[in-house]
Amino acid sequence: MARWGWGRRRGRMGGYGLGPGGECICPNCGYTVPHERGVPCYTLKCPRCGAQMARKR
């Protein structure tokens, strides 16, 4: 018997699996840079304010 909601989880380790394209954005000042494949956005520092970047959805 199948339960409702199974198979509706985000990818491995809770990620969104946004693919290789897109942008990294600074949550403080809004500065954006192109996302590089294999480099998580959270490992980047904003060149303007020094905050940790995030992936734009």
Q: What is the pLDDT of residue 36?
A: 93
Coil/strand/helix, residue 2: coil
The three-state (H, E, C) secondary structure of 4-56, written as one string: CCCCCCCCHHHCCCCCCCCEEECCCCCCEEECCCCCCHHHCECCCCCCECEEC
Residue-level pLDDT, tens digit, the chain, 57 residues: 556 666 655 555 455 555 667 999 999 999 999 999 999 999 999 999 999 999 987
**pLDDT score at 8:** 59
| pTM, rounded to two decimals | 0.63
pLDDT, position 7: 60
